[in-house]
Amino acid sequence: MKNIEMYYHKKVLVLGLARSGVSAASLLHQLGAFVTVNDQKPFSENPEAQGLLEQGIKVICGSHPTELLDEGFELVVKNPGIPYNNPMVAKAERLNIPVITEVELAYQISEAPIIGITGTNGKTTTTTIIDAMLNETIAGKSLLAGNIGFPASTVAEDATSDQWITMELSSFQLMGIKTFKPKIAVITNIYEAHLDYHKTREEYVAAKWNIQKNQTADDVLIINWDQEELQGLTKKTAARVIPFSTTQRLQEGAYVQNGQLMFGEEAIGERDDILLPGDHNLENILAAIAVVKTIGVSNEAIMTVLRTFKGVPHRTQFVTEYKGRKFYNDSKATNILATQSALKGFKQPVVLLAGGLDRGNEFDELKPFLKNVKDVVVFGETADKIARVAKESDIEVHFVKDVEDAVPVAYKVSEPGDVILLSPACASWDQYRTFEVRGNAYMRAIRTLTDTDEVEK
């Protein structure tokens, strides 16, 4: 860890806890800052805040009192999930107090170069594949961090200059950077998403594009060349651009030709050797190849990973096969595009489980992808909206309370040879704290179903 002094005896407010907030508060305290933590959850129900208090950090819980900002803070580190129109954040900006997110701190202390991965879909899969390929060469070569579940600043504390930090980055995190600069940046794709937070598509795209804003000609930007919007944006970066494409041959970059995975003129291996299914995952794989070939990873290491990599939890994750039905958990499908991608990957009849947080959009864009869907089980705030689309596609609809109730209903209407797919097309926050919690609830319900069914036989 770099021994920086910029925060010594500075008064810093950490707004919102969760894992990144706890990490930021502890790090700033270690760097000599006068840290105050403010979290909405009551102190008695807040073990994270209790732990920080034991470290000697000032803790204020139960609400976000805007008058707290009158105490002369020089910096606010906010939880990425707190929007900029939050009264605390808005007041801090009016007072010209810098507002950053925890990944900025991670960059400032990190001895290791950073690979930053963002995009609407495929971030986690791409991040995980890159990490696996680097670690296939040397154990510990890559350390996972960021939006993938490992606080970036905690990882950066222990990272050394001969390692890489492979960091998944959300638009929320990237809005709060000042000097953050990945050595290699990746944008997997950009579609319309999170407009409840960003308000406009332009703001959302700008947040994603922030990943390269501090890059120079010594840095690399890996970009999806199949999106004209991203091609156009590359005219505005100082970084060296390396493209990837699933549809066209490239002079430089990663692509597919005659069944071969290619990087420039070099054949990496056979596309048919990839274990991970789905055309959407081919995008993720090509992005990862572009990254690791830039670093110098061998083709053998790349193909070893691609022959064995089964995917990551909650992303079209195969759960089990039971009485001829295959259950898949795609709880990470928090938008329509992700559910479209999941549905494209199956040729068998599908029973689709969908629904969740209502962000104000409709779901008509799902219609062309419902050809193999025989039943839809809907739940959550968007149940009626998704039900309308299914009924207009002549698909049987079943209303349930939540994911747990959806599983036995889906099993009852399914037949041997069917796929039962949780791919909600919505965020989870109306009923579940995270998409992981939702996916785990789905898998528990499957275990309950199969265990009960076995007992009753």
Alpha helices by DSSP H, listed for 62-166, are: 87-94, 102-109, 123-137, 152-158
φ/ψ of residue 162, rounded to 5: -95, 10
Q: Report whether 434 belongs to an annotated binding site.
A: no
The DSSP secondary structure of 261-308, one letter per residue, reads: EEETTEEEEEGGG--S-SHHHHHHHHHHHHHHHHHT--HHHHHHHHTT
Count of residues in the chain: 457
Q: Which residues contact 114 (CB under 8 A, 6 or more apart)?
A: 106, 107, 164, 165, 167, 181, 182, 183, 184
Closest CA to 57 of 102, 26, 88, 18: 26
Long-range pairs for 47-50: beta carbons < 8 A, 24 or more residues apart: 48/17, 48/18, 48/21, 48/22, 49/17
Q: What Rg value do the Cα atoms of the chain yield, rounded?
A: 23
- Classified as helix, coil or strand, 241 is strand
- Angstrom distance (rounded) from CA 320 to CA 373: 19
Place of tokens 């039900």: 387
Q: Report whether 126 belongs to an annotated binding site.
A: no
How many other CB atoms are there within 10 angstroms of residue 86's CB atom? 17
At position 218, the amino acid (one-letter code) is D
Per-residue DSSP letter, 150: B
Q: Report whether 269 belongs to an annotated binding site.
A: no
Q: Report whether 123 belongs to an annotated binding site.
A: yes
Task: State both tokens at 436.
Answer: 């992981």
Partners of 14 in the beta sheet?
Answer: 37, 77
What kind and span of H or E run contains 318?
Answer: strand 317-322
Q: Report whether 121 belongs to an annotated binding site.
A: yes
- Angstrom distance (rounded) from CA 434 to CA 210: 25
- Angstrom distance (rounded) from CA 179 to CA 108: 8
- Classified as helix, coil or strand, 223 is strand
Which strand ranges, in their side-by-side order, compose the sheet holding 350-354?
A: 317-322, 325-329, 419-422, 350-354, 373-378, 396-399
What kind and span of H or E run contains 243?
Answer: strand 240-244
Q: Which residues are annotated as a binding site for ATP?
A: 119-125
Q: Which residues are annotated as a binding site?
A: 119-125
